[in-house]
Chain A
Amino acid sequence: MKTQKITLLSKALLLMVAALFAGSLFVPMWRIELEAPQYPEGLVLQLFANKIGGDVDIINGLNHYIGMSTLHTENFPEFKVLPVVFGLFALVSLLLIFINKRKGVKIFLFTYIGFILLAAADFYRWNYEYGHNLDPNAAIKVPGMAYQPPLLGYKQLLNFGAYSIPDTGGWLMTGAAVLLLFIVVKEYNLLKKKQ
């Protein structure tokens, strides 16, 4: 019977995971970069855990041509929930050190993956909502055109090229996922040949 406890290394890594979660509260998670001929310097929309940042006013101004609703932090309940979730994640990562059960880490990893999938679905829903729910009185109407940004990657939206990519916080959270995965793999000896 193998021990269910986790190693010192894994505990140290859990500490780092906690730090990554805590850190991602303060930096932008995601960014949508917009490029157009008349914006050679580019425009950027940054999604923090608690707010929208970047060139929101300019983008709102431009979106009115196509009848897209304007973006306002207060319209998204997510910005109230996400900081709590991230805080909880950081706390749980710390607690796992004391709980000291490899199963705990595994459950947390799956919960986290579930959260990411949920977040992606939510993000997609908002993108769809904004891209399709257009003012019928908009100045510019292109038949069949929607302005939904991509979930991840690049998409051309009229004269704008839109890149949807993780920002600093997104990379921190990716790091957290990688570390959690590493701990689970290590603790369950998944890479070792079966005896």
Chain B
Amino acid sequence: MKNKFVKAIFTIAMGSALLISCKPKNSGDAVSGDAAQKAYVAPGKYDEFYNFVSGGFSGQLSVYGLPSGRLFRVIPVFSVDPEKGYGYNEETKPMLNTSHGFVPWDDLHHTEMSQTNGEVDGRWVFGNANNTPRIARIDLKTFTTKEIIELPNSAGNHSSPFITENTEYVVAGTRFSVPADNSNGDVPINTYKKNFKGHLSFVKVGKEGQMDIAFQIQCPGVNFDLSHAGKGKSHGWFFFSCYNTEQANTLLEVNASQKDKDFIMAVNWKKAEEYIKAGKGKLTPTKYAHNVYNESTHTATSEIKTQVLILDSKELKDICYMIPCPKSPHGCDVDPTGEYIVGSGKLAALIPVFSFDKLQNAIKNKQFEGEYDGIPVVKYEAALHGEVQKPGLGPLHTEFDGKGNAYTTFFVSSEVVKWDIKSLKVLDRVPTYYSVGHLCIPGGDSKKPFGKYLIAYNKITKDRYLPTGPELAQSAQIFDISGDKMQLILDFPTIGEPHYAQAAPADLIRNNGQLKFYKLDDNKHPFVTKGEKETKVVRNGKRVDVYMTCIRSHFSPDNIEGIKMGDEVYFHITNLEQDWDVPHGFAIKGASTAELLIMPGETSTLKWSPDRVGMFPFYCTDFCSALHQEMQGYLRVSPAGSNVPLTYSLGTNLPAPDQK
């Protein structure tokens, strides 16, 4: 009896073991032995690469190290950031100005690094605002946003900010086609086909980075999704994926998924330049903001521009060509040689790869199958290099390693697939956790990929991290792609929802003239105070300007009296330090906006309106020294109309002896 019982237990145990072993391998097993070593960066050692990752709906840009996955910095771009006073202090408020007024948030989807000769050069990173269409330029000398330009005639700036191989242009294709700004937008929505237009913006980038909309191309009303510039032989061309070529305006999940093929639009921007020279562009009235942060005044200015030069794709037939692409193309990626253009039909079960040479031949020999809203449509087979068969489900984006391989993300089947660009053979595949969107190989969309790591940016992380309530951590995964097989070496959480990212060797950025502090002598801020002797408080009617300095470990002045209810107080604070990594903070009780974070040698202004009579302490918020906690002061607010004189002092107004 006892024996039988033992046997039964044994049988059940064995059976369960078999069952368990039949279950597919779980994610934990995907990490092989030396992964930790490959991702490990010892304390005090530097990472090999900087990874600039879009923050999605957070509107910020985050900077991670590769291969450690450590977060170094979050750079505010399109969203206000009370931590740094960005969008709150008087100097940076103009950065978030638009034709709609102050828009303190956005949805940053893609990042693109500046390039020289098709290689990343470590000068700037560009980012797009999806919601209120804008492009930002982030300077890598200071890791701060230096310029933001709004895009007229656009809505949903999605295929952006992709750049040409010498950073001649940053482009922006509108996701939502809408009636042009200078036309009547008050039309029935179901007149989409007639009244809605898609505009592509070509933003010129100057030597010092200055952006300016050189021209826009007016295109049929479709949804432009993603883009990439040609390079090498295809330099001078741009490629945009488009969906909703059905031109539906309702229930797009069905109505824009009808056609077997949508398009990749090839744009000959050199030709467009010729037409502009020939005077074929039309200056059209509109309104858009151009915001520039001036390094020497530490202040941004916002200018509203009122016209834009437009080329009509319908009229000028040899600028734009449509290449049929199955089905609802999303990613549109060009290989390092510039010859192959990879379209990723997000609903397609194959990856079409187009050849630039074949496209040129097809255009030359007029191998067209008709026109789409006035734009010639090249025959699919005439431009096709070939199709990658059965690669996976839901191809989205492709990057390259510079060794003839392409890596494509598959959203639906949650994997990255490596394939050979020429032979179109699938070489390797690895699972991602889960639902991967964009991917990044350092330099992976340039002429010179660094091909050592691949980072996948995932949408979903169930079971990967400790749960954090209804919303889980967003994540990225690093793969070592130096061998034949891709190897997962690290998962790391990200801010917001990571979309596209760029990466460059750390040395390229570290050694590119990175700034350690602002030189006080070069500070041209109109309210700068260059020494404690120059500190003062000036009343002008109800406006009070406080010229204050901070240095380890005090503010000057640290006692201010004579402020009255109804005053508008502007604290212009100059950080007198000329030493690396000694910012000071400034916070005052009840401030309804934010604090300031002032870099060495910088001047920053906080506007403050007292809301009650009394004593208002202010203090430094950024730990600065052994006496940081002593870095504080008082501001006295008296009733309106009181006769308390305006005084300010440092180290002198000790109490009268009888009060001691």
Binding site for B on A (CB under 8 A): 41, 55, 57-58, 61, 64-65, 139-140
Besides A61-B577, A139-B627, 8 other A-B contacts (C-beta < 8 A): A57-B578, A57-B579, A58-B579, A64-B552, A65-B625, A65-B626, A139-B630, A140-B626
Residues of B within 8 A of A64 (CB): 552
Which 10 A-B pairs give the minimum distances between C-beta atoms? Answer: A58-B579, A57-B578, A139-B627, A61-B552, A65-B626, A61-B551, A58-B578, A61-B579, A65-B627, A140-B626
Min Cβ gap A118→B in Å is 35
B551, B577, B579, B626: the one within 8 Å of A139 (CB) = B626
Min Cβ gap B489→A in Å is 29
What CA separation (Å) do A36 and B551 show in the bound complex?
Answer: 20
Residues of A within 8 A of B579 (CB): 55, 57-58, 61
Residues of B within 8 A of A55 (CB): 579
What CA separation (Å) do A41 and B580 show in the bound complex?
Answer: 10
Residue from the set B551, B552, B578, B579 with the largest chain A CB neighbour count within 10 Å: B579
What CA separation (Å) do A41 and B552 show in the bound complex?
Answer: 20
What CA separation (Å) do A61 and B626 show in the bound complex?
Answer: 13
What CA separation (Å) do A127 and B579 show in the bound complex?
Answer: 24
Per-position binary interface string of chain B over residues 548-571, scored 1 when its CB falls under 8 Å from any chain A CB and 0 otherwise: 000110000000000000000000
Min Cβ gap B375→A in Å is 58
What CA separation (Å) do A61 and B520 show in the bound complex?
Answer: 15
What CA separation (Å) do A58 and B520 show in the bound complex?
Answer: 13
Residues of B within 8 A of A61 (CB): 551-552, 577, 579
Per-position binary interface string of chain B over residues 618-632, scored 1 when its CB falls under 8 Å from any chain A CB and 0 otherwise: 000000011100100
Closest to B578 in A: A57
The number of chain B residues touching the other chain, given as a range, is: 10 to 19
Min Cβ gap B9→A in Å is 62
Residues of A within 8 A of B578 (CB): 57-58
Closest to A61 in B: B552
What CA separation (Å) do A58 and B576 show in the bound complex?
Answer: 11
Residues of B within 8 A of A57 (CB): 578-579
Is chain A's binding surface mostly helix, strand, loop or mixed?
loop
Closest to A41 in B: B580
Binding site for A on B (CB under 8 A): 551-552, 577-580, 625-627, 630
18 A-B contact pairs sorted by A residue (CB < 8 Å): A41-B580, A55-B579, A57-B578, A57-B579, A58-B578, A58-B579, A61-B551, A61-B552, A61-B577, A61-B579, A64-B552, A65-B625, A65-B626, A65-B627, A139-B626, A139-B627, A139-B630, A140-B626
Closest to B630 in A: A139
Closest to A40 in B: B44
Is chain B's binding surface mostly helix, strand, loop or mixed?
loop
Min Cβ gap B159→A in Å is 44
Residues of B within 8 A of A41 (CB): 580
Min Cβ gap A138→B in Å is 11
What CA separation (Å) do A41 and B627 show in the bound complex?
Answer: 23
What CA separation (Å) do A57 and B626 show in the bound complex?
Answer: 18
Min Cβ gap B554→A in Å is 10
Residues of B within 8 A of A139 (CB): 626-627, 630
What CA separation (Å) do A13 and B83 show in the bound complex?
Answer: 65
Residues of A within 8 A of B552 (CB): 61, 64
Min Cβ gap B66→A in Å is 23
Residues of B within 8 A of A140 (CB): 626
Residues of A within 8 A of B630 (CB): 139
What CA separation (Å) do A91 and B630 show in the bound complex?
Answer: 56
What CA separation (Å) do A41 and B581 show in the bound complex?
Answer: 12
What CA separation (Å) do A64 and B626 show in the bound complex?
Answer: 12
What CA separation (Å) do A58 and B581 show in the bound complex?
Answer: 12
Closest to B516 in A: A41
Min Cβ gap A175→B in Å is 35
What CA separation (Å) do A139 and B579 show in the bound complex?
Answer: 21
Closest to B580 in A: A41
Residues of A within 8 A of B625 (CB): 65
Min Cβ gap A142→B in Å is 13
What CA separation (Å) do A41 and B626 show in the bound complex?
Answer: 20
What CA separation (Å) do A58 and B517 show in the bound complex?
Answer: 13
Residues of A within 8 A of B626 (CB): 65, 139-140
What CA separation (Å) do A55 and B578 show in the bound complex?
Answer: 9
Residues of A within 8 A of B627 (CB): 65, 139
Residues of B within 8 A of A65 (CB): 625-627
Min Cβ gap A49→B in Å is 25
What CA separation (Å) do A174 and B578 show in the bound complex?
Answer: 34
What CA separation (Å) do A58 and B579 show in the bound complex?
Answer: 7
What CA separation (Å) do A58 and B551 show in the bound complex?
Answer: 11
What CA separation (Å) do A61 and B577 show in the bound complex?
Answer: 9
What CA separation (Å) do A103 and B625 show in the bound complex?
Answer: 59
Closest to A59 in B: B579
What CA separation (Å) do A58 and B625 show in the bound complex?
Answer: 13
What CA separation (Å) do A60 and B321 show in the bound complex?
Answer: 67
Min Cβ gap B517→A in Å is 11
What CA separation (Å) do A145 and B611 show in the bound complex?
Answer: 49
Min Cβ gap B513→A in Å is 17
What CA separation (Å) do A121 and B519 show in the bound complex?
Answer: 37
What CA separation (Å) do A89 and B551 show in the bound complex?
Answer: 44
Min Cβ gap A180→B in Å is 42
Closest to B44 in A: A40
Residues of B within 8 A of A58 (CB): 578-579
Min Cβ gap A84→B in Å is 31
What CA separation (Å) do A166 and B578 show in the bound complex?
Answer: 26
What CA separation (Å) do A55 and B577 show in the bound complex?
Answer: 12
What CA separation (Å) do A57 and B580 show in the bound complex?
Answer: 12
Min Cβ gap B514→A in Å is 13
Min Cβ gap B628→A in Å is 12
What CA separation (Å) do A168 and B626 show in the bound complex?
Answer: 35
What CA separation (Å) do A136 and B253 show in the bound complex?
Answer: 77
Min Cβ gap A72→B in Å is 14
Residues of A within 8 A of B551 (CB): 61
Closest to A64 in B: B552
What CA separation (Å) do A168 and B551 show in the bound complex?
Answer: 33
Min Cβ gap A195→B in Å is 65
What CA separation (Å) do A64 and B532 show in the bound complex?
Answer: 15
Min Cβ gap B549→A in Å is 13
